Structure 1
Amino acid sequence: MRAVRVLSAALMTLGLAAVPAAADSSPSPGESEDGGAPTRAGTSFRTATEVEQGQTATARASTGDYLYWSFPADAGQRPTVRATVRLPERHAAETWQIDVYDGLRRRQACQYGAQTRTAGTDAASVELECVLRTVRAWSEPWANDPLPGTYYVRLTALRLSTADLGQAVDAELRVESKDMGGAVAVDGALSEPLVPGVATRAGSDEGNDDPAVLAGLEPEDGWTSGRWSDRWIWTAAGGALAALAGVAGYRLTRGSGRPPGVPPNA
């Protein structure tokens, strides 16, 4: 019996010690459960909230606000931007739209997806999607091709009734990309990705020599900007196969090298 009591006391002690550890592992108030994803959105390009690809950013806003996020996209990626807006219980018909801009603030067209949708009076939420064109490593100056760098997402309602202005809504944003591989690779490359700075500097004192603050997020493996792709592998493999085919063709067509009528063992 004494051994049973000792074992029970030890188990209770371990259980009490595990309770604070479990409590410490839970996210603190205001901290996202999705790997520290942001829980707010900016109100302009300058204040756009940075979000990494694969995270689900959330924001509490009012109907009529402009919500801005930014994310990095590298060469060879085809980003897909998805947004969900949860509407109040009572509302009139509302039209919501997402727009995507590159680092030069040029509006990028969507290949496909429901970029604009109208939510009826009985709709609890509205879902939007924009699949961008594949990001190119280099482009002509006059072209509007998506290039490596920072991209901005703007979410807003286009047509609202006066009664709906200011009502609370919950918004979610998620960006994911598909790697398109060497099939979309080009020969040129940007010297630097299109990651804009801000007008203000890190310090407010006069004479401060700190550099301008840039957008802090970049792709997981860094900016490649077309330096490497599987296009090089396919090019090398094609060259090797061509060489082998040439050697095999030569061996098949060179002949025996003996004059006609001479037996092989002569």
Structure 2
Amino acid sequence: MRTVSVLSAALLALGLAAAPAAADSSPSPSADGEAAPTRAGTSFRTATEIEQGRQATASGSTGDYLYWSFPADTGQRPTVRATVKLPQAHASQTWQVDVYDGLRRRQACQYGAQTRTAAADAPSVELACVLRTVRAWSEPWADDPLPGTYYVRLTAIGVPTSDLGLPVGSEVRVDSADIGGSAAVDGSLAKPLVPGIATRPEEEQEDAAVLAGLEPEDGWSSGRWSDRWVWTALGGALAALAGVGGYALTRGPGRPARVPPNA
């Protein structure tokens, strides 16, 4: 019974330790009162920075390329959602949202309507792209998502000539689910993939400008911690308790006390 009590207490303690690490860490809207961006860039270099959890808006014209950028850290699985508000009269249009990492490699969507066609005179079209989980480290030849800056590009493809230049409105929002230790890997990047950060001398790290200045609220983790450590400790504790319990069950009854021969 004592072994069972110790095992139950250990499970409860480790379960409580693991629970906060497995919680959803999707960034919440900023409470500082700062207004959300109301414009978009026209290239990677001029992409408008947006924070996760906040909706950005922009006006443009059919045929334009609209760009935004956002930071994504290890263990996050970003979801990009975009809504395009179309003019009252238009022909059938196909819109597409693409996501690129800090090396400008196009990232595949796990699922979501990345490309959609709006019927003639439809008021709007909604797009979505759920990326793969951001990894702390990857092989040089792989195209796995890595911590750093990500770019969102929204545009219409195959637009009829009659619709080119028509005004449109757009809304973009990025949210992330925290996948946790199930996506953890051994190794980490020396620097996140933020354009310009690796070319700055160390003594100018604080003052030199970079092409993307936003970072996660708690800074770049780059694989320093994940709940993988909690589950590893849990496994070790269970193995130790199993050994103690097995020994207690298999050692048999205690030896009887020796009786003095002259008693």
Residue type of the alignment partner of 2:79: T
Q: Find the residue that maps to 1:178 and give its secondary structure.
A: strand
Determine the C-alpha separation between the residues in 1 that align with 2:124 and 2:159. Answer: 15
1:45 correspondence with 2:44:
yes
Residue type of the alignment partner of 1:238: G
**Cα displacement string for residues 6-55 of structure 1 (whole angstroms, at most 9, x for unaligned residues):** xxxxxxxxxxxxxxxxxxxxxxxxxxx98421000000000000000001
Residue type of the alignment partner of 2:174: V
Determine the C-alpha separation between the residues in 2 that align with 1:214 and 1:154. Answer: 16
CA contact 1:78–1:133 (8 Å) conserved in 2: yes
CA contact 1:91–1:164 (8 Å) conserved in 2: yes
How far off is 1:255 after superposition?
Answer: 2.3
Determine the C-alpha separation between the residues in 1 that align with 2:157 and 2:79. Answer: 22
Q: Find the residue that maps to 1:80 and give its secondary structure.
A: strand
5+ long unaligned stretches in structure 1: 1-32, 202-209
In structure 1, the partner of 2:244 is 247
**Cα displacement string for residues 35-82 of structure 1 (whole angstroms, at most 9, x for unaligned residues):** 421000000000000000001000010111000000000010000000
CA contact 2:87–2:121 (8 Å) conserved in 1: no
Residue type of the alignment partner of 2:224: R
Determine the C-alpha separation between the residues in 2 that align with 1:78 and 1:156. Answer: 23
Larger Rg: 1
How far off is 1:213 after superposition?
Answer: 2.7
Using the TM superposition, name which of 143-152 and 234-243 deviates more: 234-243
1:106 correspondence with 2:100:
no
Residue type of the alignment partner of 2:104: R
In structure 2, the partner of 1:221 is 218
CA-atom RMSD in angstroms: 1.9
In structure 2, the partner of 1:150 is 149
How far off is 1:220 after superposition?
Answer: 1.1
Q: Find the residue that maps to 2:175 and give its secondary structure.
A: strand
- After TM superposition, the structure 1 = structure 2 runs for residues 19-58 of structure 1, keeping only pairs within 5 Å, are 35-58=34-57
Residue type of the alignment partner of 1:219: P
Determine the C-alpha separation between the residues in 1 that align with 2:126 and 2:183. Answer: 30
In structure 1, the partner of 2:61 is 62
**Cα displacement string for residues 219-263 of structure 1 (whole angstroms, at most 9, x for unaligned residues):** 1111101110011011111111111110111111122353xxxx6
In structure 2, the partner of 1:24 is none
Determine the C-alpha separation between the residues in 2 that align with 1:71 and 1:36. Answer: 16
Determine the C-alpha separation between the residues in 1 that align with 2:196 and 2:47. Answer: 12
How far off is 1:265 after superposition?
Answer: 7.6
Residue type of the alignment partner of 2:222: S
Between the two proteins, the alignment pairs up a number of residues equal to 220
Aligned sequence identity (%): 77
Determine the C-alpha separation between the residues in 1 that align with 2:130 and 2:54. Answer: 17
Q: Find the residue that maps to 1:194 and give its secondary structure.
A: coil
Greater length-normalized contact order (CA 8 Å, ≥ 6 residues apart): 2
In structure 2, the partner of 1:175 is 174
Determine the C-alpha separation between the residues in 2 that align with 1:68 and 1:134. Answer: 22
**Cα displacement string for residues 169-206 of structure 1 (whole angstroms, at most 9, x for unaligned residues):** 000000000000111111111111000029xx9xxxxx
Q: Find the residue that maps to 2:193 and give its secondary structure.
A: coil
Determine the C-alpha separation between the residues in 2 that align with 1:159 and 1:232. Answer: 49
Using the TM superposition, name which of 214-223 and 74-83 deviates more: 214-223
- Normalising by structure 1, we get a TM-score of 0.79
CA contact 1:34–1:56 (8 Å) conserved in 2: no
- Normalising by structure 2, we get a TM-score of 0.80
